[in-house]
Amino acid sequence: MRAAPTILHLDMDAFFASVEQASKPSLRGKAVIVGGLGPRGVVATASYEARAFGVHSAMPMAQARRLAPNAAYLVPRFQLYRTISEQVMGLLRELSPLVEPLSLDEAFVDLEVAGAAWDETSARLVGGGLRADIRRVTGLTGSVGLAASKMLAKIASEQAKPDGLVVIEPGTERALLAPMSVRTLPGVGPATGDHLRRAGITTVGEMAEAGEDELVRLLGKAHGHALYAMALARDERSVVAERETKSVSVEDTYDVDIHDRVRVGVEVQRLAERCVRRLRGAGLSGRTIVLKVRRYDFSTLTRSETLRGPTDDPAVVREAAARLLELVDTTGGVRLLGVGVSGLADYTQEDLFAQAAGEGDGGPGLGEGDRDGEGGGEGAGAGDVGGVVEGAVGERRWMPGRDVRHAVYGHGWVQGSGVGRVTVRFETPGSSPGRVRTFLVDDPELVEADPLPLVAGGCGGAGGAGAVGGVLA
């Protein structure tokens, strides 16, 4: 443990929903819910106004609609979120070379290593300056926690929400933790929490009093030792600048169970293609192909095949995924499919042969290394790559929340669509709440558009619709 609160944890406030509110003046101060809008979609982020109704992330979207029927329901605009995340992470890297991103909207920063902070006063000044810089650059708010360890810094940022700063002074940690629920500690999920509760342990203080031997008896050696150390506020983990990602994958959840075996096969082939595009985009290849199938009864099966060498060849990945599908019984229906590649490297099997030939001629040797990749989430699909989806009868279906531009009325966003019409609200981040107009879905004057910067002069959504294509088949 350090002698000063020089580990900072930043957590952007309701990030996806806050971006949408900042982008759409008519939604500011209102309940906004971002996520998959199909019958089996889940909530990605809910604004604080929506949370007042009991809506939270990972909740089924159908349940959210029952709790907050009048909220604005929007599909995610991941490219815009990534652009803003890069701005925020850039601010963090100006403070220290040791920045450990946990997600698009969350990261640890070691302030001590670069001399940015050395005591409580300097750390508090840095945290306050960071919050001001984030608001200036992005127009958004973030909550900051400062402590002598990563665990406590994260707890502090939770206490700071929304839009606050909390510093945990060294020496006060155990007193602070004692009355907190055991669920506060990382690694204590619902099952572990229930197990401890049945043993009469509900707070961190009670966990510390129970002793290490009792926790080992209840939870096993590794888990018991780790949680006892946390209960005593011991956390020696360092901030790690690079987090190694083990795989690249994509998944789709289907609104209706797929029963047709041929259709399942087609979906697997499509997912394999998407996975390879993501793999190549990261400059990676991989040796192990993984197929994930969640069946109608929620049972989840995974099958994998390891190749002789790494590949980024779509045909190889498709064929391997098809072989794996033959090993899975899909009788009864499939609700989710996923294809992934692990055993990552920055060269391919074909490179090995080429370089081996080069070595015979005195060419260069081999180099090998792992890099970060991306994981796919349940519900990721067409909604992540475009604002318009081709409907079943050739009709364009405009996704709620997507950016559009009209030849006469300018920039706006899709508020809803159906029965051959699309409703658009015309407003920009810097305007007042705009007017709503309705058009035919195939109006030639209405087209997809890139997101606008949230702050005047800031970076826009460079990877918006124009970067990924227009109408999807």
Question: In the prediction, which pLDDT does 50 show?
Answer: 97
Q: Give dist(CA 435, CA 410) in Å, integer.
A: 12
- Residue 241 is predicted with a pLDDT of 87
Residues in the chain: 473
d(CA 404, CA 413): 5
| pLDDT the model gives residue 346 | 67
- Residue 370 annotated in ligand binding: no
* 8 Å CB contact between 110 and 96: yes
pLDDT on residue 244:
66
Q: Annotation-wise, does 257 bind a ligand?
A: no
pTM of the predicted structure, to 2 decimals: 0.74
- On the 0-12 / 13-18 / 19+ scale of CB atoms within 10 A, 325 is buried
Q: Which residues are catalytic?
A: 106
**Distance (Å, whole) CA 190 – CA 41:** 22
pLDDT of residue 355: 38
Q: Which of 145, 132, 120 is nearest to 2 (CA)?
A: 120
pLDDT of residue 363: 34
Q: C-alpha angle with apex 120: 115 to 126, nearest 5 degrees?
A: 55
Helix axes 212-219, 221-231, angle to 10 degrees: 140
Determine whether 189 is exposed, middle or buried from the number of CB atoms within 10 Å of its CB (0-12, 13-18, 19+).
exposed
pLDDT for 7 equals 97
Contact between residue 387 and residue 465 where contact means Cβ atoms under 8 Å apart:
yes
User: Which domains are assigned to the chain?
Assistant: 1-171 (3.30.70.270), 175-231 (1.10.150.20), 247-374 (3.30.1490.100), 384-468 (no CATH)
**pLDDT in tens for each of the 473 residues of the chain?**
788 999 999 999 999 999 999 999 999 999 999 998 887 788 999 999 999 999 998 899 999 999 999 999 999 998 899 999 999 999 999 999 999 998 889 999 999 998 999 999 999 999 999 999 999 999 999 999 999 999 999 999 999 999 999 999 999 999 999 999 999 998 888 888 999 999 999 999 999 999 999 999 998 888 899 999 999 999 999 999 866 667 899 999 888 889 999 999 999 999 999 999 988 888 888 999 999 999 988 888 999 999 888 888 899 999 999 999 999 999 899 999 999 999 888 665 544 444 344 433 333 322 222 222 333 333 333 333 345 544 444 556 799 999 999 999 999 999 999 889 999 999 999 999 999 999 999 999 999 999 999 998 655 443 333 332 322 22
The CA distance from 199 to 286, in Å, is 45
Report the pLDDT value the prediction gives residue 179, as an integer from 0 to 100: 96
pLDDT of residue 280: 86
